[in-house]
Amino acid sequence: MYFEYDGNKYDVIVEKKKNKNTYIRVKDDLKIYITTSIFMTKFMIKNLIESNRNVIIKMIEKQKRDQDKFNNYYLGKKINIMIINIIKKPYLEDDTLYVKDKNDIEKWYKKQTIKVFKEHLDFIYNRFTKNIPYPSLTIRKMKTRWGVCNKELKKITLNSNLIYMDPKYLDYVIVHELSHFIYFDHSKNFWSLVFENEPNYKKIRKEMRE
């Protein structure tokens, strides 16, 4: 099953469960995911898709905008990507990333993300104004959060999309999550600690919400 829009076909993935509610989502792979009741027939699902056509189109366009927002950026700077099939390994020179093929682009970003995030975590941890345990680092793409602190496991998780943005945003998120090792809330004391380690946090936080 697929959804056709603007000359393109988008796969529809249907998951049936023992519940009464139906949910429609468009994920970053631009596939349409429908979670619905086990009693929903194929005919009913097609009617559901058609009756929600405008909503689905809006979700597709939002996903495309979100992807374009980060496309071909590295640490806040626009970069060009040059594919040259004789290159052995990817490298960045000036404002151009040279790769052998498209698969190398994601591999390069992943490698840089691990390296850059670890360097920034180490730097901020070493100058942090409170004594806290050194956390393990997990990196993954997240839809609604820039970072997560797991105090019990002594771990922080950072959103991989931060690699596309100015490093000040990465630094703020790290400060924010490290501060949760002292105050596991968003109290006045918590924000005071964030301010100690990132005096411009209000401005940065506002920019990240725009």
**pLDDT tens-digit map of 151-195:** 999 999 999 999 999 999 999 999 999 999 999 999 999 999 999
**CATH code: domain of residue 143:** 3.30.2010.10
Are residues 42 and 126 both part of a single domain? Answer: no
Domain endpoint, select from 47, 69, 91: 69
Per-residue confidence (pLDDT) for residue 162, from 0 to 100: 97
Residue 137 included in any domain = yes
pLDDT, residue 154, reads 96
Please report the pLDDT score of residue 177 as a whole number.
98
Per-residue model confidence (pLDDT) at position 31:
92
**3-class secondary-structure state, position 150:** strand
Whether residue 121 is contained in a domain is answered as yes
Domain with 41 in it: 2-69
> What Å distances lie between residue 90 and 79, 103, 189, CA to CA?
14, 10, 45
The closest of 168, 156, 165 to 199, measured between CA atoms, is 168
Q: How far apart are CA 38 and CA 20, in angstroms?
A: 9
Euclidean distance between CA atoms 173 and 179, whole angstroms: 10
Provide the number of structural domains found in the chain. 2
pTM of the model: 0.71
In terms of DSSP H, where are the helices of the chain? Answer: 42-51, 53-70, 103-127, 167-179, 188-197, 201-209
- Does residue 107 sit in the same domain as residue 205? yes
Structural tokens at position 7: 């000359």
Residues 109 and 14 grouped into a single domain? no
| pLDDT computed for residue 72 by the predictor | 84
Q: Specify whether 132 is located in the same domain as 186.
A: yes
Distance, in Å, from the CA atom of 188 to the CA atom of 186, rounded to the nearest integer, reads: 7
Burial class (CB in 10 A: 0-12, 13-18, 19+), 15: exposed
Query: Do the domain assignments include residue 84?
Result: no
- Single-letter residue type at 119: E
Residue 88 domain flag: no
Q: Which among 120, 112, 123, 108 has a CA at the least distance from the CA of 147?
A: 120
Listed as ranges, residues in the chain with pLDDT below 70 are 67-71
Residues 150 and 205 grouped into a single domain: yes
Residues 6+ apart with CB under 8 A from 16: 35, 36, 37, 38, 40
Residue 87 has what pLDDT? 86
Asked if residue 36 belongs to a domain, the reply is yes
Residue 71: per-residue pLDDT: 66
Contacts of 103 (CB under 8 A, 6+ apart): none
SS3 call for 94 = coil
